[in-house]
Amino acid sequence: MCRSKIVAGNHYEPEDKGFYWRRWLERKDELKNIGHMVGRRLGQLVSEKITQVENKQLLLEKQISKYELMDRLLEKLGLSVSSLMHYGCERIFREKVEQMRAVVPPSLVPELLRCVTALEGVARDLTEIANEKKEAVEDDDKTG
């Protein structure tokens, strides 16, 4: 019959105890360095995620303010977001167009369209003149 003793971990003979403790100290430093590296990297990842979340939050806050502005503008025009969602955009806009037609006589519509076209032409001409003046001033600055 054979008797054996089961021991947890590494078993070192008394002459190897110095080797055991040197190895333990080396591994302790290695594990400490690994822990520092992992901690630093986790800190960087958390910082990056926080920055991403903050940027996304700013973007969403800007969008919310734009939507609130649009909601106020629609309210001023007599359109509420809740009515648009409930009744549908097409019905609401059709009613608004009918209300405008009741105010503006049909014979006046072609005249208004001609005025709009003329004003667009004037705006194009003014833009062209402004660009020509800007180019002339830039040419004077280069030569003068």
Same-domain status, 30 and 80: yes
Assigned domain for 70 exists: yes
Count of CB atoms situated within 10 Å of the CB of 92: 18
Whether residue 116 sits in one domain with residue 137? yes
- Answer yes or no: do 30 and 98 share one domain: yes
121 and 51 part of one domain: no
Average pLDDT over residues 10-36: 77
Shared domain check, 37 and 49: yes
Are 119 and 94 within one domain? no
Looking at the domain assignment, is residue 10 inside a domain? no
Judgement on whether residues 55 and 98 belong to the same structural domain of the protein: yes
The range of the structural domain enclosing residue 144 comes to 104-144
**pLDDT, mean of residues 95-112:** 80
pLDDT digits (tens, 9 = 90+) for 6-20: 766 666 565 677 787
Measured between alpha carbons, how far is residue 103 from residues 73, 98, 122, 133 in Å? 21, 9, 27, 42
Q: Into how many domains does the chain fold?
A: 2
Rounded average pLDDT over 99-123: 83
- What does the pLDDT look like over 39-96, one tens digit per residue? 999 999 999 999 999 999 999 999 999 988 888 887 887 777 776 666 666 777 777 7
Q: Which of 98-102, 113-117, 139-143 has the lowest average pLDDT?
A: 139-143
In a domain, 5, yes or no: no
| Structural domain includes residue 8 | no
- DSSP of 56-122, one letter per residue? HHHHHHHHHHHHHHHHHHHHHTT--HHHHHHH-HHHHHHHHHHHHHHHS-TTHHHHHHHHHHHHHHH
Provide the pLDDT for residue 45. Answer: 96
For residue 1, being part of any structural domain is answered with: no
In a domain, residue 7? The reply is no
My answer on whether 27 and 46 are in the same domain is yes
Does 112 share its domain with 94? no
Whether residues 108 and 139 fall in one domain: yes
pLDDT score, position 85: 67
The pLDDT score that the predictor gives to residue 57 is 95
Are 57 and 112 part of one and the same domain?
no
